[in-house]
Amino acid sequence: MKVRRSKSLEKMARAVHDSDEFVEHIFGIAATYRAQHALESTAKGAAIRKSLKTFDKHATALNSWLREALKTSHSSAEHEALSQLSTALHGSASATRAQAHATQLWLASLCGVSERAQQSLKRNPIQHAPQAAAEALRTTCAHHAVKISYKNIGERPSASIQLLCAIAKDAGDSLSAEQARQWLKAKAQD
């Protein structure tokens, strides 16, 4: 995948530290921000959440069906149905029992896990994109021995705050200078 290279973001990054490696790191941070922001704010995230709900619904139902089919009592309709499927597939009523048992255990381990996956995709007051970008920016600046400043220079925010705002803007998001300052400070206090 080719990383998008915005001229305005490159100009802002070079104003902070004129190094090709630093600029590449900033483009990487922007690409990560863009992907995370898309999951948090677009229909793609909603579609993934819907797909996870559908999976959970069907996995739970199939898990229950297989658990009933694998019981030792041979009188259940599910047990007979599994035997018929096995006979049709392998010519033996018991050939698929081991596979069905493994599948049932796998489904049992996944039931409810999609709920946690959905929670990670929900947009909440703690947005993951600016948080991750602030942490990555701090790490990148530390790696390149660039000092991060939280203060305004006259009426303008510091270059590091402007850079975080530019990363957000490149992803189609908007952060105010004060929000960017808070994200950078929050990461500094961790």
Task: Please give the pLDDT value at position 94.
Answer: 83
58: confidence class by pLDDT, cuts 50, 70, 90 = very high
Of all residues in the chain, the percent with pLDDT exceeding 90 is: 28
Task: Please give the pLDDT value at position 23.
Answer: 92
Task: Please give the pLDDT value at position 38.
Answer: 76
Averaged pLDDT for residues 151-166: 86
Give the end-to-end CA distance of the chain in Å, rounded to a whole number.
33
Task: Please give the pLDDT value at position 76.
Answer: 86
Tokens of 22: 């630093």
For residue range 86-115, list pLDDT tens digits in order. 999 888 888 888 899 999 999 998 887 877
The values of phi and psi at residue 156, to 5°, are -95, 145
Give the integer Cα–Cα distance in Å for 63 and 34: 37
Of all residues in the chain, the percent with pLDDT exceeding 70 is: 88
Least confident of 9-23, 31-45, 48-62: 31-45
**Taking the CA atoms of the chain, what radius of gyration do you get in angstroms?**
26
- What average pLDDT does the structure give for the chain? 84
For residue range 115-156, list pLDDT tens digits in order. 777 766 665 444 678 888 999 998 999 899 888 888 877 788
Task: Please give the pLDDT value at position 50.
Answer: 84
Distance of CA 87 to the CA centre of its chain: 43
Q: What is the pTM of this model?
A: 0.55
Give the integer Cα–Cα distance in Å for 27 and 19: 12
For residue range 61-77, list pLDDT tens digits in order. 999 999 999 987 778 88
Question: Which one is predicted more confidently, 83 or 189?
Answer: 83
